[in-house]
Chains A and B, each alone.
Chain A
Amino acid sequence: MIEIDPQTKQFVENSFKNLNNPVKMIFFKGQNCQYCDAIKEILTTVQGLAPEGKILYEEHSFEDENDLAKQLNVDKAPATVLKAGEKKVYFYGVMSGYEFGSLIEDIVDLSTDEVKLEDETIKFLEKIKDDVRMQVFVTPTCPYCPRAVRMAHKFAMINPKIRADMVEAIEFQELSNQYMVSGVPKTVLTVNGEDVDSLVGAAPEPYFLDFLKKNIKV
């Protein structure tokens, strides 16, 4: 059962005061999904705290509506796509605990179309032509993780060639094993379909930028 205390509620409502463009929360449910009810509850609760029409909620079945999933580049479930215009960010698994903050901040950034990054970072991101994917593995109890998730998500908001996923490591154990995740946050970088590098820890922006520069030619 999801709990939202009055302080959190008020905080979210305040953050949502300046929402502008509508943001879609597109949720793909999976089969035998332990946290799908929780995710649905989180998303609908958040929708209820936004001014009318600013946050739209859609629910789909990953198995039954695979074409739509493919169209949105969703490759596993449970998945939540936040979408405003052509800008998209992904959450695989539950965005509870510290990651709830990532969800709220992403919504605000997408809706206001404001992404706070250094000019140097933006310049580099805009030049990227390769298909880049950043998968940030997290646990909901990790206080450092939202910094890495938000960094990757902000990067994706600058350039649609960058796809950025939060991945809740315990729900996606096989994937975590595949990438040998036993410490979070861990960001796995994939360029043109090839896993090229990974970064452990919530690094500051210049460090993240170097991580991309080292691995992506522009």
Chain B
Amino acid sequence: MGLELGLSLGAATTKKGGEYDFIIIGGGPAGLTAGIYAVRKNLKTLVIEKSEFGGTVNLTFEIENYPGFRRISGAELAKKFHKHAADLGVEFSSDEVKEISKDGNWFVVKTWEGEYRAKAILLATGSRHRELGVPGEKEFTGRGVSYCAVCDAPFFKEKTVAIVGGGNTAVKDALYMAEICSKVYLIHRRDQFRADELDISELKKKQNVEFVLNSVVSEIRGDTKVNSVVVKNKETNEEREIQIDGIFIDIGEIPNNELAKMLGVELDARGFIKVNDNMETSVQGVYAAGDITGKLTQIVVAAAQGAIAAVAAYEYIRKPYWVKN
């Protein structure tokens, strides 16, 4: 059990409004890195986060592909990002943006606690988990159906679980659950994975992991809680009912694009924000970075996009000599 303290650090910081050069909405790796770059350019910068600073990084058990850290927990890396930004003078508010609009050259950001004005905005609002949309899923959410392995793993110690998905999250979750569960089924609709090959080969070594490939979940069954999952093989059309105690759904994300829509920012067909190489959106002064851009959902990518966005916002706000009009 995690006996460390202060994982939700910064949560009690809530501001009441004010004027800023740069307001970043979303405190994940993209937002926090943008904050670091922006304050080093001397922009008065605020990061607004409605949940946990670090964003979905907090949901990762172990990260092994962020340079400089051979192996680090998501919670720990999130905390380091936040500390780095805080030490450099980034301001934070734990609050939720309810409304965003443009007023001349300014952006007006309304939250639960106050009203802010900013010269430029970064939308780093990330994404949320996608649902399977099969019978039983909604009914048994919290009763065996889970979207958060770090939250709910302890309930399935020495039990049998299924994990659905073929990306990094699914494979990482399967690796973790294989350590504590008696049996883990990994259900994936293809016979190949998008996850890192190193993790897949590690998973293949586990005696208690069974791969259920080319298969889709057609139903989750149970009484008071989940008892089984019905999967259908896409090639043979054969259905199979697997007895399980829990099922973790890791099938990707949908964009948190509500604020982008309020600003009239152009989205792609999947609802992610369209950006150019400078992380500029279709609305001048509005930038986007991280998972909301629909690119590779990796911490290092989000951080890099945050850096690019912050520098572009600086050039837009301050018009330094090297920027041609």
> Is chain B's interface secondary structure helix, strand, loop, or mixed overall?
loop
Instruction: Out of B11, B142, B146, B151, name the residue touching A101 (CB < 8 Å).
Output: B11
Q: Given A180-B224, A182-B146, A182-B246: A100 and B6 within 8 A (CB)?
A: yes
Whole-angstrom distance from the CB of B95 to the nearest CB of chain A?
10
* A80 contacts chain B at the CB level, 8 A cutoff: no
Instruction: Out of A2, A145, A182, A202, name the residue touching B225 (CB < 8 Å).
Output: A182
Instruction: Out of A7, A42, A96, A184, name the residue touching B1 (CB < 8 Å).
Output: A96
A140 in contact with B1 (CB, 8 Å): yes
A4 to B7, CA, bound (A): 10
Number of residues in A with C-beta < 8 Å to the partner? 50
Q: Which of B211-235 contact A (CB under 8 A)?
A: 224-225
A residues in contact with B245, CB < 8 Å: 182
Instruction: Out of B11, B112, B141, name the residue touching A183 (CB < 8 Å).
Output: B141
A4 in contact with B5 (CB, 8 Å): yes
A35 to B2, CA, bound (A): 12
A100 to B54, CA, bound (A): 17
A98 in contact with B3 (CB, 8 Å): no
Whole-angstrom distance from the CB of B19 to the nearest CB of chain A?
22
* A94 contacts chain B at the CB level, 8 A cutoff: yes
* B4 contacts chain A at the CB level, 8 A cutoff: yes
* A143 contacts chain B at the CB level, 8 A cutoff: yes
Instruction: Out of A7, A142, A147, name the residue touching B83 (CB < 8 Å).
Output: A7
Whole-angstrom distance from the CB of A172 to the nearest CB of chain B?
12
Instruction: Out of A38, A45, A146, A201, name the residue touching B3 (CB < 8 Å).
Output: A38
Instruction: Out of B2, B6, B10, B142, name the residue touching A141 (CB < 8 Å).
Output: B2
A101 in contact with B86 (CB, 8 Å): no
A97 in contact with B151 (CB, 8 Å): no
Whole-angstrom distance from the CB of B266 to the nearest CB of chain A?
27
A66 to B83, CA, bound (A): 43
Residue picked from B8, B152, B245, most chain A C-beta under 10 Å: B8
* B115 contacts chain A at the CB level, 8 A cutoff: no
Q: Given A141-B151, A201-B142: A100 and B225 within 8 A (CB)?
A: no
Q: Given A94-B3, A182-B156: A143 and B9 within 8 A (CB)?
A: no
A7 in contact with B151 (CB, 8 Å): no
B155 in contact with A96 (CB, 8 Å): no
Q: Which of B1-59 contact A (CB under 8 A)?
A: 1-14, 51-52, 54, 58-59
The tally of CB-CB contacts under 8 A between chains A and B is: 143
Across the two chains, which residue of chain B brings its CB closest to A9? B6
A residues in contact with B156, CB < 8 Å: 182
* A192 contacts chain B at the CB level, 8 A cutoff: no
B residues in contact with A207, CB < 8 Å: none
A147 in contact with B51 (CB, 8 Å): yes
Q: Which of B79-115 contact A (CB under 8 A)?
A: 79, 83, 86, 96, 112-113
0/1 per residue, B136-175, Cβ < 8 Å to A?
A: 0000011111101011111110000000000000000000
A residues in contact with B9, CB < 8 Å: 7-8, 11, 101
B75 in contact with A182 (CB, 8 Å): no
B residues in contact with A128, CB < 8 Å: none
* A44 contacts chain B at the CB level, 8 A cutoff: no
Whole-angstrom distance from the CB of B295 to the nearest CB of chain A?
23
A204 to B145, CA, bound (A): 21
Across the two chains, which residue of chain A brings its CB closest to B6? A8
A3 in contact with B5 (CB, 8 Å): yes
A6 to B152, CA, bound (A): 29
A101 in contact with B143 (CB, 8 Å): no
0/1 per residue, A147-189, Cβ < 8 Å to B?
A: 1000000000000000000000110000010001111101000
Across the two chains, which residue of chain A brings its CB closest to B141? A200
B150 in contact with A146 (CB, 8 Å): no
A residues in contact with B113, CB < 8 Å: 116
A96 in contact with B4 (CB, 8 Å): yes
Q: With A4-B5, A4-B6, A146-B11 given, can you name 7 additional A-B contacts, CB distance below 8 Å?
A: A7-B6, A94-B1, A98-B8, A101-B9, A139-B151, A139-B154, A169-B154
A-B contact pairs, 19 of them (CB 8 A): A3-B3, A4-B5, A7-B86, A15-B13, A35-B1, A94-B3, A96-B4, A98-B52, A101-B6, A101-B12, A142-B152, A143-B58, A144-B51, A180-B224, A180-B225, A182-B155, A182-B246, A200-B143, A201-B142
User: Top 7 closest A-B pairs, CB basis?
Assistant: A200-B142, A101-B8, A8-B6, A183-B142, A142-B151, A97-B2, A143-B58
A-binding residues in B (CB < 8 A): 1-14, 51-52, 54, 58-59, 75, 79, 83, 86, 96, 112-113, 141-146, 148, 150-156, 224-225, 245-246
